[in-house]
Amino acid sequence: MTENDIQSAIAGFRKQLGEAIGERDQLNVKIINLEQNIRNLQAALAETRFAAVHQQEQSTIGLTEAIRTIFRRNGQPMSSGEVRTSLKAIGFDLERFANPSGAIANTLKRMAEAGELRFNERLKTYQLHPYRDLYISGMRGNEKPK
């Protein structure tokens, strides 16, 4: 393979990766909406004697993955408050947290410490780190893939 062939293959895989991430984001939003529908129906069921059995269902999409979806879909730097508003807009259940703002802030801070997000101290905003895929995989850019 020539260098051009390799570069072309890399570009093709990056395109496929981007498409797959977009599909995953759409599924995450669909899952969040379905969970909201379930919660709404469970609230209606709460008036019956069987409500206690159904109220404790666990969510499949966690806060971190929902935040990843928000950042990938938005593509712009966001403050913690903007992330919270976006989570509400897609129907993510923040009521399961005693302190939703604190949970969001802690998650954003942890994601930044892990290298997945970049924090702009001056603007108090977060954005996806351009090399987040390397950080997630454990590489820092100077190693060869295993």
Q: Can you tell me the distance from the alpha carbon of 37 to that of 43, in angstroms, rounded to the nearest whole number?
A: 10
Residue 52, pLDDT score: 44
Domain residue extents for the chain:
3-137
Residue 61, pLDDT score: 82
Is the pTM higher than 0.85? The answer reads no
Q: Tell me which residues of the chain have a pLDDT lower than 50.
A: 50-58, 135, 139-146
Query: Backbone phi, then psi, for 118, in 5-degree steps?
Result: -110, 140
Q: Which of 67, 94, 61, 64 lies closest to 83, judged by CA? A: 67
Residue 39, pLDDT score: 87
Residue 44, pLDDT score: 79
Name the 3-class secondary structure at 74. Answer: helix
Q: Which of 28, 23, 90 lies closest to 62, judged by CA? A: 28
Distance set, CA 11 to CA 2, 17, 50, 58 (Å): 14, 10, 54, 39
Work out the number of other CB atoms within 10 angstroms of the CB of residue 78. 21
Residue 47, pLDDT score: 64
Work out the number of other CB atoms within 10 angstroms of the CB of residue 55. 12
